[in-house]
Amino acid sequence: MTASSPTWGDIERFVQADRWRQIPSSERGGRSSDHVFYDKTLPDGRLLQTHISHSRKKSMSPGRFGAILTRQLEVSRAEFWECIRSGRPVDRPVPLDEPDERLHPAWVVNVLVGELHLSAEQIAALSPEAAEQLHDHWAAR
């Protein structure tokens, strides 16, 4: 999709190029799932794990993408896209991107979660303006 909002198919292309192992469902207890699970053992012995949605064309919010890069894949945005482009695995460790600034003020998130019962994914998908408009609409009721 775009450099800041990839699809789950982009994540799949990355794990394939970076030589991750798809975890068979039999290793996860045989449960069916809406996700495909992967792991990768790094040369230092650490085990990375991630999963992707079966909806390969569905994009994700920039915040979610940043969290996946940092916490699960342990690569920067530049390394992620270069790995897909070149088809070569990432030589870790690499410098990671700085975490994204918080998208929404805490008071807006509190209302969106506590009163409107939105999920973290729904909140992450909202622009700061849309989140505040949603709050204002709710507050006017």
- Residue 82: domain span: 8-86
Q: Is the pLDDT of residue 31 over 60?
A: yes
Question: Does residue 31 fall inside a structural domain?
Answer: yes
Question: Does residue 95 fall inside a structural domain?
Answer: no
**DSSP at 117:** -
Residues 71 and 21 grouped into a single domain: yes
Residues 59 and 123 grouped into a single domain: no
Q: Residue 61 — very low, low, confident or very high, per pLDDT cuts 50/70/90?
A: confident
Q: Residue 106 — very low, low, confident or very high, per pLDDT cuts 50/70/90?
A: low
* 132 or 6, which is more confident: 6
Helix (H) or strand (E) segment spanning residue 50: strand 47-53
Round to whole Å and give the CA distance between 4 and 7: 10
Question: Does residue 98 fall inside a structural domain?
Answer: no
Question: Does residue 110 fall inside a structural domain?
Answer: yes
